[in-house]
Every structure is written in C-alpha cells, then in structure tokens.
Structure 1
C-alpha cells in the first residue's frame, strides 16, 4: 500500500472546497458566488462528468430551486414535466386497491411538483455554477480527509494509477491536496469521507442511527398509447409483504419514457431477501406488466437512500466544515423526496460560510448552519413526518398508514406531533436475522422481457472500473464472509447487492468469497447491510463507476 507520509503532493488553496457535484454541492457553490463573486469555490466530482453518478426518482419539489435561482424557468432548467395525476395503490398479487388522495395530509400532494432527471438538473446547475466562475473538477475522487488536529483542513483528490496491491503503478499520479477555509461534504448517501468524519468527531452521538433503503430504478420507453405525461404512481404491498418494508414509483416523464423504481427498506430481517429480485418480480404485477409490455428498458441503476429523517440527523457542522444533503440524511421518507432539502442545505451552508468569511473567520465550526437546518424549512419538512418510518419498522405497513397518517395530519395542522418522537432502534445491519430462523425464498427466474438478471441490467448502468486498480470494497477481516457470514447468515451479500458484486464460489471442495468490484454501481448497500459490518466502501479512482445518462 502507499505510504501516505512519504507521498509529496501539491496543494491548492480555496475559500470553500465542496466534495460532490450533486444538488447540495452545486447549490452551495452557486449560492456562495451569488453572495460574493470573490469567494473562491471548487467542486470535486468523482463521476466522469456532473450527473454521471446521480440517481434519483425523481419528483422534484421546486422549493429549493425557487430559492436558489428564482428565474429558473426563463433560464431553461430541464424542469418541465409538471405532475398532472397523483395516484397511490396498495398491491396484491393479482390486483390493486387505490387509496384516495383526500385522507392524506397536504404535504403528501404532488401538486406543483415536477418529474425530472436529477442527473440532467445537476448538469444544468453545473452550467449555472461555471457561469459564476465556480471551478468544477469531474473525475476527481476525493479519497482522503486532510486533518489539522481535529479540524478538517481539506481533502486529497485525483490519486490515480495504483496497482492492485495498492503500490504506485507506472502511470501513478499522487493527486493533490485541496485546502479550504471551509470544506463542504456533499458526497451523497454513506460517503466514505462523511463516514470517517462522523466517526472521528462523534457527530452521531445523541442521535438515532441512520436508517437506509435500497432504491433501484429502470428507465423504460413504452408504447405511446400507454404513456401519460405527468402521471405519478406510488405503490406499497406486493411483492414484499411481511418480508420487508418498501414500495415502488412509476413516473411518466417525457418522450414516452417511464421511470420505474423500487425501494426496499434495509432493516429487513430475513437474510434470504433479494431486493433486486423483488424489484424484478414487481414488474410482473398485472398493472405494471400491462404498462411495460411492448416497451424496452433503456437504463438501470441503484443507490442507497437515507431514511432516518429527523431523529437521525447528526451534528452537521464541525471545525472546518459541514455535511450537506444526503450526507446529512435529509430525505423525507413518506414524500419520497430529498432533492429540495439537499438544495436548501447547500443554500444554508453557503450563507453560514459566507458570513464567517466576511467576518475574517476560517476553520471554525459553523454552528449557525445546524440552527438553520433544524429550525428552518428543512426541519419543518422532516419533523412533521418523523414517526412514519419507525412505526412502519415496528408495526408494519397498515399501522404506519393509520398511526403515521394521523401523526402527520396533526403535525401539518398544528406543528405538534401527538405521538412524540419514536426511536428507530438498531441499525439495519444489526436487524439482519440468522439464516436458521428463515426459509430460503424461491424467486421466479427473470424472463428477459419484463425482468432481467443482474449482470444484464448492470450493463445498462454503463459502469466501468479500471481493473488494475485496488479493489475499492475493503474487508476488515477477509475470513468473516466464509467463516461467519456464510454459516450464520447464508452470506447475504450474494443477495442484497443489486449489481452481482459478491459471490460465494466453490473451488477444490472449498468455498471462497469473490468480489467483482468492476460491477459496482456505488450504491453503498454492502457498507450498510453487511451483518458483521466487515465491508467498507471506499471511492475508486476518479471517473470510474456508473455513467448514468439521464437518471
């Protein structure tokens, strides 16, 4: 492995270094330049281009965009498909029951929201940022934190050309240190730098553990006669049943494209659950199959979703920086929305940093950012729905609809949650049960028309990793997969990964754990769900991973 102490790197100094070119990071960059064009700002993006690693549903609440760029319509933002039809169904195996909209609190309405490709929205935001002279470096993975004591001083980015054993190869580039008076961490869900900072500085102390879901998405081109632009459908129930919480979304976007997604909450107990195959089975429901038959799938991807909400938001500011967006866990689970909060968090962080810089400060804690998030629009959005997810986890779907709905209604009307604040309890990894207590699930074989095997679908994520580099999926103890996880949990990594990264193969009468890191779509599920917490997701070299065209 490389000896960090022996590596000599050049450094660059900025007022603000932003890690992540998603909606949170780009909004922060734009806001900083709007406040003061003299503030120097750099955005580091590990994807090959802005948007390459962006995957979201997505129905966009435009409140964040309205605040950031009020004239976004006139400026040509790719936000044009307004929601025209909002539907919610509970599925059984052979049919469905529509839940009427009127019992739902107003916050659940999608009136005034837009179906978008967040990848394309981020590409447009990057254009706005560059017009303000923000420096954006795609293909620059931030692989390490630069510490000054317990202050975050900057990050290492752009290290490339390592051999598989971690030693420098013939094309080795050590990367650079990018130092900031403030460093904004906007990596998305379960980012490796955010995880390191949170652990070292104990930012989650006093807060619930973060909860997660696995979101998988396909883009389909359907027959024109079946396409209804602006139509939104959400479902719960079949095929998950009691095996896991979760549900689906079906969004009629534009150009006969329908965005089909499926979310499985990762606190499921049965280690035989295969979230990917649940998604594939879902598409054979008569209501869904009728829509998709005669169409073709054109893209696939997956990512983890933060689901802890209000109870799980850590301390967001620390000496030298802040956590933004999904790094902070700002998704509203019942609304299935987080992009507006990501953008609002970027705005609030920029306001706090710009004020500090104006006062001549640097490297301290931006505590006003925490106050703004918890006491402002983001806090209001998340606190009102805070009990829906823990009720669902502890009592099931129907109790969540009834009790959670009641709690949301009262909070919407009065600002007070009558059920108080329910705790999430244990982590998703700790929720995993032992294989001996469950029966393996017999999933139907994909038919190649509506449903597909994982490797075939991964090819539609356009994922690529340089094979000579070190595996970015690290095992704390290489003996655990076969020695512990296989006998105790039937090694669930074989099933929870939506990209077929992990296999148990038999060679010479012995079983061996194989990591096909080239397939990785950077969803982070393994880092979250491994029951032994033995898998650590780290960033591969810059530009590697999925290349989503318009997710």
Structure 2
C-alpha cells in the first residue's frame, strides 16, 4: 500500500517526561545555535498525559537543567514534601514506624515535591510546543520502519477503522509513515517497539534480565481533618509476604486529596497471588485506613515499572535511533523514582543529537557517543550507587535486604565492593499451582476495598470494540493446555483490569480476552509464564484517560 509520509529531523515516540524533555532540550539547542531542527512527538493516548501513571514524589533538580525560571512559572509543582514516615507492616494490624536513622538515605525526600506526572507531562508539552515542537496525540506508533541498511527509518502510525475481522470498515483511515533522521523511543516501561529493538539489535547482551513491578494507584478525596498536605508515607512488609515483595505509599496532595498505591514485584512465585487483591487489602491496614476512612475514591489505575536498574540497562543507541527513560529502564528503584532520571536521559539524548546536527550529522548512524555521555553524567553515578538495591531485596528478602541496603547506602554511599545480580526473568520465577496454597482474599467492602470492574470504570478506559485484539497469543492452545493445567492460568489474577477470563462452555474450557478493559499496564506481556502474550498498540486514543495521575 502506498502511504502518505512526513519527514522530520527527529521523531520522538511517546509524550512522557523523557520524550518531552528530549524535545524541549533539542529545540533549545536548535535556537541557541540558530540551526533549524524539526522535531515531532507522537503519543498514543487521546491527549498528553492520558496514559501516564506514577506515584509520584519528584526530585526537581533536573528541571533546573531545562528551565532556569521554572520555580517562578506555572509549573505543576505545588506540594513540597513536609515529612516522611516509613513503616514496616508486620501483619494486617501491626506495624513499626522506622526511625530515620535506620532508613536508607535514598528514601528521604527533603526538597522533593508530590506531583501528578501526567500534569507535569502536560506542562512540558506546552513548553515544547512553544519552542516549535509538533505534538500529535491520539496516534499510536504501531511498527518500526527500517532503511535498506537496517537502520531505523521511522515509524508507521497504526491504521484507524479496521474491524475485528481485520478488514477495513467504512471509517477506515490508513496510517501515515513518519520518517526521521533519528527516532527516539520513549514509550515508557516495556514499550512494545523498544522491546523489539532491544531484541533486533541485541542491546541487552551481557545484561541481567529486566525486572518489573506492577504499580497500583488510586486518588482519594478525604476528610480535611485527616489530611496533612505534603506528608509522605512509605511501607514495606504486609500484605506482601511468603516470597512476595514490594512496597506501598500514601502521599498527601493538595485539595484534601491523597494518592495511595502498592508496588508488587513481578518476580513473585505463588501463581494464586492476585496483585489487585493485595492492593485492596493493603488499604485496610490501620496505618493506611486512618487516612482513607470516610473518604471517596476518585480515580484508579495500574502500570508496570522497570526496576532492574543499571544491571539491566541495555545499550541505548542503535543505527538511526535512541532509547530513553523507562523504555530503557532508567528508574532508580532505591529512590522509588523514575521521572527525574527519565528526563535526564532525554536531555542527554537531545544534547547528543543537537551537537551532532550542528556538526552536520547525517541520519542512520549508531550514536554510541550517547552511551559515553550517559556514563559521564550524574545519572550513571546515581544508577551505579543503587545497583544492588533491588537484587538485595530479591536475594535476602525485605528485612535482610533492607538491612543490607541501609549499610550500602548510608555507610558505603552505594559503593559496596560487590554487585548482586538477579538472573531469573520475572516470568520464570512463577511456580506450579500445585506447589502453593490458594489465597482466600476477603470480599470487597465497597468502602476501602473494591472489585476490578468498578475500579476499571474509574480509569476512564475506552477502546473501540470492533477492532483487532491488541493482546495477541502466539499459540492459542497454551492458555488452557499449559497455563491452566500447570499454573491455574495466572492471567486471571495478575491482570489488574479483568481482561482475562477462563470460561467453560459445553464442557470445554477456553480463555476469553476482554481487550476493551485493558489499561495498558503491560503486566501480561511480562508475567505470562509461557511468554505467549504480546501487547501491541490498539487504535490510537484507546486505553485509559487519566486526569491527574
């Protein structure tokens, strides 16, 4: 098919903090050097920020590198952190407040802000457009295009108006080809194009497998007397016990709102575990319930996060393109923060590209000088100092791993002379159903805990129902013949949106995929024990529509 095409100097896939930081810095370099550089950003969400979900406590230093006047502008950083509480939850009722002297220093938040990363992205998008960047929301990058020399040529925007049977409907509109000298991939965690590029160019050779967590978040409106604006609460321990790990958070935002969430590490072993239900019962613990009781749940969402850190960071350049942010895995798990690191990687990418264009750079090269720039930055130093944080928790558990991390961060400054590695992929950690006890989760009470479908409703998720399923099975027999037989089909539980169901009709079991419920968390692509599920982009604009997550 002959398709229309557009040409740019730089194409950026994904309008998150990393991609928009890349765009802003590139245009600043362009204007300073009086060198015209055309930059386009494509975003699969219906608007910038629609698909972005993060805790989030933000370390703002990176903004100083982009906009020296941000503190006096309309930036959405309005809630500075006032105090930190860190609890170890010993059971469903008991807890211990950890003294600051025993907390890894990376967990302290002096000078940081409680923010909505979605709103930060919207603010960055305005800045980018004012600098001359073209931003196209509602357009999903469905394929990578390659030149004859195997370098990246650009991307294909997915067709619109294709029916479930794969045939064009009356509303059919073919996708355009967007070509660029260089394409920057900033799709977020487990980006489906980034995943393909890492495999194609063997970018992860010599690295440990990437590791992930599934992060849940709800925003609540709570009674004024229970609200303490700027207060940060982090927890470890219950309900994640018996080989499961992760941690919870509760952040007091403005307007009597709090963000509450739980991160469940996806290396858990018990296939009967339901991350969604673990989050629901987390909210019933007295440490958390004291703030939520009598409040109203406003929004819900979930998203995978890449937490492998430096040990799992792939080579971030390849012919014709770069990886930035969570598409590569730049999150600092020791700080439970990834926004500032994602933005810094974007700034470094922009400086690499900008200086190259000024010097007459042609397209299609492997800009491995980006790697050198990265390694000489504070970002490399920060990720190196936290390289043992996640592996230590995986290796020794919450208590002993936490004790090691305290020693490593507070005594050795992250320079402990040993590097731990976790070489087991998260999907391979899952055990057989027969080897683990089933978990009986309490029924939701409708006050603090809720069911999946009412939760998905609050994510404002919408997909055109008559379209090809974007959750693709390599072998349609595996969910029943392997996953159900051996693992009690864990997709029924690890999916936080009720997408996967096993039903029985006429004595025959089958897997039903309710793709319209998908909130684009990518957990199925990560945790499926048979690695039989591939997440691809649905029609542009489909998915959640988060207002301020």
When the two structures are superposed, what TM-score results if normalisation uses the length of structure 1? 0.97
For residues 512 and 22 of structure 1, the distance between their equivalents in structure 2, rounded to whole angstroms, comes to 37
Retained in 2: the 8 A contact 1:150–1:201?
no
Deviates further, 9-18 or 104-113: 104-113
Deviates more, 1:101-110 or 1:528-537: 101-110
Looking at structure 2, the residues matched to 445 and 380 of structure 1 have their Cα atoms a distance apart, in angstroms, of 46
Q: Partners of 1:356 and 1:165 in 2: how far apart?
A: 46
The gaps in structure 2 that reach 5 residues or longer are: none
Q: Give the equivalent residue in structure 1 for 2:268.
A: 268
Maintained 8 Å contact 2:217/2:260: yes
Corresponding residue for residue 186 of structure 2: 186
Aligned residues: 542
The Cα of 1:106 is off from its aligned counterpart by 3.4
Matched, 1:371 2:372: yes
List aligned pairs for 1:32-43, cutoff 5 A: 32-37=26-31, 38-43=36-41
| Contact 2:137 2:541 (C-alpha < 8 Å) held by counterparts | yes
Equivalent residues of 2:246, 2:264 under 8 A apart = yes
Q: Is the 8 A contact 2:214 2:265 kept in 1?
A: yes
CA distance in structure 2 between the aligned counterparts of 1:290 and 1:133, rounded to whole angstroms: 48
Q: Encode CA deviations 1:47-94: one digit per residue, 9 max, x unaligned.
A: 000000010000000022121112112221000100001110001221
State the superposition RMSD in angstroms: 1.0
Does the 8 A contact of 1:463 with 1:520 survive in 2? yes
Q: Does 1:385 align with 2:386?
A: yes
1:256-335 superposed matches below 5 A = 256-335=256-335
- Cα deviation for residue 373 of structure 1 reads 2.0
Gap runs ≥5 in structure 1? 1-6
Structure 1 SS opposite 2:187 = coil
Residue in 1 aligned with 2:457?
A: 459
Q: Distance in 1 between matches of 2:494 and 2:118?
A: 25
Q: Alignment partner of 1:301: what SS?
A: strand
Matched residue SS, 2:171: strand
**8 Å CA contact 1:391, 1:404 repeated in 2:** yes
Matched with 2:360 is 360
- Contact persistence 1:104–1:405 (CA under 8 A): yes
Residue 106 of structure 2 contacts residue 334 of structure 2 at CA under 8 Å; is this kept in 1?
A: no
Matches for 1:233-244 after TM superposition, within 5 Å: 233-244=233-244
Match of 2:43 in 1: 45
Q: Counterpart in 2 of 1:230? A: 230
Per-residue CA deviations over 1:275-307 (Å, capped at 9, x if unaligned) read 000000011111211211110000000000001
Task: Note the C-alpha offset of 1:108.
Answer: 2.6
Quick one: distance in 1 between partners of 2:107 and 2:275? Answer: 26
State whether residues 104 and 405 of structure 2, in contact with CA within 8 Å, keep that contact through their aligned partners in structure 1.
Answer: no
SS at match of 1:36: helix
- Verify the 8 A CA contact 1:387 1:422 in the aligned structure 2: yes
SS in 2 for 1:456: helix
Residue 105 of structure 1 deviates from its aligned partner by 4.2
What is the TM-score when the length of structure 2 is the normalising length? 0.97
State the SS of the aligned residue for 2:101. Answer: coil
Larger deviation, residues 157-166 vs 465-474? 157-166
Paired position in structure 1 for 2:472: 474
Aligned to 1:536: 534
Does the 8 Å CA contact 1:309/1:330 hold for their aligned counterparts? yes
Q: Secondary structure at the match of 2:219?
A: strand
